[in-house]
Structure 1
Amino acid sequence: MASHVGAGHTGTADRSSSAAVTGWTVFAATLMVFGGFMAILAGISAIAKDNVFVRTVNYTYAFNLTGWGWVHLILGIVVVLAGIALFTGALWARVVGVVVAGLVMIANFLWIPYYPFWALVLIVVNAFVIWALCTGNRDTLSP
């Protein structure tokens, strides 16, 4: 009787746990693709010297707005590609996703004086991405 309960319990738990973890990976990939496209649009807007952004004075990490535009454009492209690769379920895509999401968080932290609300939103989105990727599929992580 004890082996029957144990066998039924582990089979059901493994299937539901695996499905939930896969869902988190899809969630992270979707957020990455969305956030990447938004970073691309912000980058293009900054490169075009649009009037969307606030120009700050005496900012410690002052950087040319066009330079920030290129940073966001390149990071956005890399994030979109990493998000698309996550849909394949590859372990390397998970690692790249965590690293790139961390870089995007840093870039958006430094971007706060230029576009505060959106920078904070993207910091939170990338924190969710890192959490979802680190929660990851335990079946692919085990030897």
Structure 2
Amino acid sequence: MNATTAHGHRSTARPVLSGWLGFAGVLLFTLGLIHVMSGLAALFKDDYFQVASGSLLVFNYTAWGWIWLAIGVLQIAVGIGVLGGSLAARAGGVALAGLALIGQIAYLAAFPFWSLIGVGLCVLVIYALVAPPENARGT
């Protein structure tokens, strides 16, 4: 979208600043930190996620810990990319928020309140990433 001014100089289009993308980037970064801590808790303290009924939807606490650790580290990186205006980071953020949303369902038996909050935050992140225009930046 370059336009020629009256003096013959070209002006470059500035990216649109989006509060939603700024919010999504910061929230992805924060959720990434929380998921890293959850992953470390699952790795180092197996009984942290156990419930009396045994109805937690995980197959192996060590694998569960590594999955949350990987999702968390990726969310931190993607959150930084979203703040920088990367369209690929926005797409990755939607995918990671979707994965985290599914993962939060497994927490329903152990932590129902936090799980519902986590599902809501993931939905909010997805909306915040897809609502702004394509050329928008978070900062």
TM-score in terms of structure 2 length: 0.77
Structure 1: runs of 5 or more not aligned: 1-17
Is 1:100 matched up with 2:84?
no
- 2:56 touches 2:108 (CA, 8 Å); kept in 1? no
Q: Distance in 2 between matches of 1:113 and 1:85?
A: 33
Instruction: For residues 69-113 of structure 1, give each alpha carbon's deviation from its aligned partner in whole angstroms, at most 9, with x where no partner exists.
Output: 111111111111111111110111111111111011011112222
Cα 1:76–1:52 change in 2 (3 A) is same
After TM superposition, the runs of 4+ consecutive aligned structure 1 residues lying more than 3 A away are none
Per the normalisation by structure 1, the TM-score is 0.75
Question: Comparing both structures, which one devotes a greater share of its residues to helix?
Answer: 1
Structural RMSD (CA) = 2.2
Counterpart mapping for 1:33-48 below 5 A:
33-48=29-44
Distance 2:20 2:70 in 1: 25
- Verify: 1:134 aligned to 2:130, yes or no: yes
Q: How many residues align?
A: 122
Equivalence map 1:1-143=2 (5 Å) = 18-19=16-17, 22-49=18-45, 51-57=47-53, 59=55, 61-139=57-135
Could you tell me the percent identity over the aligned residues? 32
The whole-number CA distance in structure 2 between the counterparts of 1:50 and 1:124 is: 26
